[in-house]
Amino acid sequence: MNPSSKQDERIAKMIFGSVYPHYLTKVEKKNRTKEELHQVITWLTGFDDQKIQELINEKATFERFFEEASLHPHAELIKGVICGYRIEDIENPLTQKVRYLDKLVDELAKGRKMEKILR
């Protein structure tokens, strides 16, 4: 197993609910709201607030999280570098989806306008 497949496996097994508080803290530190965070998650995945909370409560992995998601048709327009990797060059589909979410949260925290984030 090469290092990137170990990383992909680690990401797949991560619990969404364990990462979510970090997303929330990141955006709130920059004067953005939980509602805005949920708006971004909803745009990418199609989940409403109730479904997001359900997945947190059920300790869903990112693998399950994105299996149940209806990815937005414009998600492939999310480009750039996140965690040192160019999103459009990530080969593993699940890892790419997680990085899409990471990128949207970063853009929200950086104060980007919602209409720009939600391509």
Alpha carbons within 13 angstroms on the beta-carbon side of residue 46 total: 11
In tens, the pLDDT along 51-65 reads 999 999 999 999 999
Length of the chain: 119
Q: Is residue 47 part of a domain?
A: yes
Tally of structural domains, the chain: 1
CB 8 within 8 A of CB 94: yes
Q: Is residue 34 part of a domain?
A: yes
pLDDT value of position 34: 97
Q: Is the full-model pTM beyond 0.85?
A: yes
Residue 81 vs residues 10, 13, 34, 102, 107: alpha-carbon distances, Å: 20, 22, 24, 10, 11
Q: Is residue 119 part of a domain?
A: no
Q: Show the domain range for 35.
A: 3-114
The CATH number of whichever domain residue 46 belongs to comes to 1.10.8.290
pLDDT value of position 2: 54
Alpha carbon distance 55, 78 (integer Å): 24
